[in-house]
């Protein structure tokens, strides 16, 4: 019998120098450096450079890259007008998908698929995803769009464009860590989608727009918002144990837990939990944090032996919520971090490109003949 790799689980289709994951041990590294060290010592700008170039930058290289990102934050006036005319109630990920697709119309290099052009477009995309995501959030909230500032870091500038107020250094650092934690994760569904598109030698905007669509789903990036929906449904910490026990008894899926690769704690969820806990201890435990603590304990007790643990989406929402960001925008935030991983992976794959084209075992009818419409039942 032909073996089918359902969900392409365990299928190796390429080589990569960017990200390594040991799912059994709960280890994640970029360029061999543990994710905890990136979170503690680095910045989103530096990790983006490292992914695009597959090496750590020198101080001069990082300063140049940072300056390029800052210089590319503005988006075309025509696009600002278009985003302003989006229906405010639309889903922010739909808005992001549409806006990034439109952004490509104003990029004179968008049809150039050379490596140099793919790199230049990547720098612009990393800079402008942030501007577009913030603009979308403002339109969704029926507020005027705030222009980017070049004197702030990538993380601080996003929070500034989102709220119209300059964040504190601590808020900007916390958000930067969240971006670092989400920047890349091997051959996850959205990166794979970007690569599948690029493997036809399509353009960079098409790759990234397809990836946004893949990230949106609740089994992938959309889980961070779904976790928040769950917390809102639970309501208060005293109801958490009952709620989750019933869900598990009914064999329902719990959002923010389980992972195709990690069969242990996702190391990113540990980092995010520590920050959520730090904020909770400083400012008093929020309902959200207390509910998550209870859910984590019960899930690990009951499902840990089956390899089901919290993933990155489990605690990220409480951190964003502590930063005053509402849940509708969580997945667009994931996208503005992951765009670095998408672009870097597309560039890496394209160097040794081969069309991605898996196959299916045919189980349909055989030996049939066309029946005229008039003769059909």
Ligand X SMILES: CC(=O)SCCNC(=O)CCNC(=O)[C@H](O)C(C)(C)COP(=O)(O)OP(=O)(O)OC[C@H]1O[C@@H](n2cnc3c(N)ncnc32)[C@H](O)[C@@H]1OP(=O)(O)O
**Which residues are known catalytic residues?**
259, 313
Query: Cβ closer to ligand OAA: 186 or 218?
Result: 186
In this structure, are residues 47 and 35 in contact, taking their beta carbons and an 8 Å threshold?
A: no
Which of the choices ligand OAA, ligand X, none does residue 136 contact, using the CB cut-off of 5 to 8 A by kind?
A: none
Report the alpha-carbon distance of residue 278 to residue 321 in Å, rounded.
Answer: 14
**Shortest separation between residue 8's beta carbon and ligand OAA, angstroms:** 11
What is the sign, positive or negative, of the torsion defined by CA atoms of 312, 318, 319, 325? positive
Distance, C-alpha 310 to centroid of its chain: 16
The distance of closest approach from Cβ of residue 189 to ligand OAA in the complex, given in angstroms and rounded to an integer, is 6
Q: How far is CA 302 from CA 192, 263, 266, 299, 306, in A?
A: 32, 14, 17, 5, 8
230 lies in the site for ligand X, by CB under 6 A: no
Q: Does residue 256 interact with ligand X by CB under 6 A?
A: yes
Q: Which stretch binds ligand X (CB under 6 A): 20-28, 154-162, 218-226, 362-370?
A: 218-226
Q: Is 53 in the site for ligand OAA (CB under 6 A)?
A: no
Burial class (CB in 10 A: 0-12, 13-18, 19+), 221: buried
Query: Would you count residue 270 as binding ligand OAA (CB under 6 A)?
Result: no
Q: What 3-state class would DSSP assign to 181?
A: helix
Q: Which stretch binds ligand X (CB under 6 A): 196-204, 235-243, 253-261, 347-355?
A: 253-261
Looking at 2, 7, 85, 142, which residue binds ligand X (CB under 6 A)? 7
Return the residues of window 232-261 that contact ligand OAA according to CB under 6 A.
260-261
Answer yes or no whether residue 253 interacts with ligand X by CB under 6 A.
yes
- 123, 139, 254, 280: which one binds ligand X (CB under 6 A): 254
Torsion of CA 147, 152, 154, 160, to 10 degrees: -50
Q: Return all residues near 201 (Cβ < 8 A) that are at least 6 apart.
A: 113, 350, 353
DSSP letters spanning 30-69: ETTEEHHHHHHH--HHHHHHHHHHTSPPPHHHHHHHHHHH
Asked if residue 220 binds ligand X (CB under 6 A), the reply is yes
Which stretch in 148-156, 165-173, 229-237, 254-262 sits in contact with ligand X by CB under 6 A?
254-262
Q: Closest by alpha carbon to 314, among 294, 329, 332, 328?
A: 294
Report whether 96 contacts 332 (CB < 8 A). yes
Stretch in the footprint of ligand X (CB under 6 A) among 16-24, 117-125, 228-236, 252-260: 252-260
Q: Rounded CA gap, 196 and 200, in Å?
A: 7
Site for ligand OAA in 168-187 (CB under 6 A): 185-186
Task: Tell me: does residue 267 bind ligand X (CB under 6 A).
Answer: no
Backbone angle region of 165, left / alpha / beta, with phi > 0 → left and psi within -120 to 50 → alpha: beta
308-327 binders of ligand OAA (CB under 6 A): 311-312
State the number of binding residues for ligand OAA (CB under 6 A).
Answer: 7
- x/- site string to ligand X, residues 304 to 343, per CB under 6 A? ----x--xxx------------------------------
Per 3-state DSSP, what percentage of the chain is helix, strand, and coil (rounded to 5)? 60, 5, 35
- Regarding 188 and contact with ligand OAA (CB under 6 A), the answer is yes
263 binds ligand OAA (CB under 6 A): no
Residue (29 or 110) nearer to ligand X, CB: 29
Partner whose binding site includes residue 7, from ligand OAA, ligand X, none (CB under 5 to 8 Å by kind): ligand X
Least CB distance from residue 15 to ligand X, whole Å? 22
Tokens 């409480």 correspond to what residue? 318
**Positions in the binding site for ligand OAA (CB under 6 A):** 185-186, 188, 260-261, 311-312
**Positions in the binding site for ligand X (CB under 6 A):** 7, 188, 219-221, 223, 253-260, 308, 311-313
């Amino acid at each position: 019998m032909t073996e089918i790799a359902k969900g392409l689980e365990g299928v190796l289709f390429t080589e990569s120098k960017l990200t390594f994951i040991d799912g059994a041990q709960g280890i994640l590294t970029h360029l061999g450096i543990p994710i905890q060290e990136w979170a503690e010592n680095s910045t989103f700008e530096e990790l983006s450079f490292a992914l695009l170039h597959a090496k750590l930058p020198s101080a001069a290289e990082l300063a140049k890259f940072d300056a390029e990102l800052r210089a590319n934050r503005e988006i075309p006036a025509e696009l600002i007008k278009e985003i302003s005319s989006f229906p405010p109630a639309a889903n922010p990920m739909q808005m992001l998908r549409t806006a990034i697709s439109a952004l490509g119309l104003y990029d004179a290099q968008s049809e150039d698929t050379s490596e140099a052009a793919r790199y230049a477009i990547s720098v612009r995309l990393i800079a402008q995803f942030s501007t577009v995501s913030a603009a979308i959030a403002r339109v969704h909230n029926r507020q005027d769009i705030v222009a980017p500032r070049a004197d702030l870091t990538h993380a601080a500038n996003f929070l500034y464009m989102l709220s119209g107020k300059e964040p504190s250094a601590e808020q900007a650092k916390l958000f930067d860590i969240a971006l670092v934690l989400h920047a890349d994760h091997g051959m996850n569904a959205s990166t794979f989608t970007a690569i599948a598109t690029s493997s036809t030698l399509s353009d960079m905007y098409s790759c990234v727009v397809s990836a946004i669509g893949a990230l949106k789903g609740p089994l992938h990036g959309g889980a961070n918002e779904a976790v928040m929906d769950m917390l809102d449904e639970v309501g208060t910490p005293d109801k958490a144990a009952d709620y989750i026990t019933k869900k598990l008894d009914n064999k329902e899926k719990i959002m923010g837990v389980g992972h195709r690769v990690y069969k242990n704690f996702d190391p990113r969820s540990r980092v995010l939990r520590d920050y959520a806990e730090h904020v909770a201890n400083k400012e008093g435990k929020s309902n959200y944090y207390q509910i998550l603590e209870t859910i984590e304990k019960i899930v690990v007790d009951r499902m840990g032996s089956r390899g089901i643990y919290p993933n990155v989406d489990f605690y990220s929402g409480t951190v964003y919520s502590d930063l005053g960001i509402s849940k509708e925008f969580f997945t667009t935030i994931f996208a503005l971090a992951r765009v670095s991983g998408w672009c870097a992976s597309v560039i890496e794959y394209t160097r040794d490109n081969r069309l991605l084209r898996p196959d299916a075992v045919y189980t349909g009818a055989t030996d049939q003949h066309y029946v005229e419409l008039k003769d059909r039942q």
